Amino acid sequence: MSAPSIGGVPSAMPDGVAAFGDHALPPAREALRRFAQSLGRSGPARRACSVIRRLVTLGRVGPYDVEAFPGQRARLYPDQNLSDKRVFAGAQFWDWIERAALGEAVRSADEPVYFVDAGANAGLYTLAVRAEARGKPLRALAIEPDPENLSRLCFNLASSGADDVTVAPVALSDHAGTAYLSASHANRGELALAETGTEVPVRPLLDVVRDAGFPRIDALKLDIEGVEEQVLRHFLDHAPTALLPTLVVIEAQRGAETPALALLRKADYVIAQRTRMNAILRRSAGE
């Protein structure tokens, strides 16, 4: 099994972690789960996926080893992580507009494609982009500071043979140092810098991208729970033009006009699409 790299150094699977497949669903339940993935995105399909999810997990406690996206394996924890829950049965509904925009950006970019997943969680966005690339050469950078999420991220990448992904185990800020990270007990995807918690290293986005050796960024997904403005301000103030992302997907819930969006607009980005949770921006033509 290929392993992802951490800071450019190949990493091994953690000792004592069950191999992918050890948490597979029984065949009949897996067939039902896959049926949910084939239902399309209509209203009735959404309701059917919710029912199927409950049936498939009835009497069982996760995790579950599944093919999350075509060719991409993941160990999902639906009871602990909202993104895992949504992808587990009915992945076609999970951030599909954002994924479509990223897929278009990936397929129209030069080779290799450079993708940065800032706030990678367990790696589902990175895996989705790998699936959207459809075999096109890709280099991805997955940034995730939380030790538990980091372990799950590395497992999912290794299970998918994602040796084209570099993992940076840091939180993002506008300076280098350390900080404390707190996690939500209800959803492991909700992490935030806090006054107490797990101590983690922090670094500016530009430093992390440069350490990964990226000459450009074709697409950036930024979901870092409230520090987007300070991270983007430092990045936009110091990054050379060549490193400014062509496409940005950033959290901006329910059409909110955030300081981070204002920074991107000032840097000649234009909002192309809004979803319930995110904004999708592209650099203005000719920039």
Say how far apart CA 51 and CA 45 lie, in whole Å. 10
* Sequence-ordered strand ranges (E) for 104-245: 113-118, 138-143, 165-168, 171-173, 177-183, 191-194, 198-204, 219-222
pLDDT band at 1 (very low <50, low <70, confident <90, very high): very low
- Identify whether the C-beta of residue 120 lies closer than 8 Å to the C-beta of residue 143: yes
The average confidence (pLDDT) of the chain is: 90
Specify the residue for token string 């870092």. 224
- State pTM to two decimals: 0.91
Residue bearing the bigger pLDDT, 87 or 198: 87
Nearest residue to 225 via CA among 282, 128, 146: 146
Nearest residue to 264 via CA among 228, 238, 216: 228
Say how far apart CA 36 and CA 262 lie, in whole Å. 39
Amino acid 189: pLDDT: 63
- Identify whether the C-beta of residue 120 lies closer than 8 Å to the C-beta of residue 151: no
- Please write the tens of the pLDDT for every residue from 145-173: 999 999 999 999 999 999 999 999 999 99
pLDDT band at 91 (very low <50, low <70, confident <90, very high): very high
Amino acid 62: pLDDT: 87
- Identify whether the C-beta of residue 225 lies closer than 8 Å to the C-beta of residue 198: no
Instruction: Provide the 10 A C-beta neighbour count for residue 94.
Output: 20
Amino acid 9: pLDDT: 39
- Please write the tens of the pLDDT for every residue from 18-67: 999 999 999 999 999 999 999 999 999 999 999 999 999 999 988 999 99
Most distant CA pair in the chain: distance in Å? 56
Radius of gyration from C-alpha coordinates of the chain: 18
Amino acid 231: pLDDT: 96
Say how far apart CA 100 and CA 48 lie, in whole Å. 23
Amino acid 3: pLDDT: 46
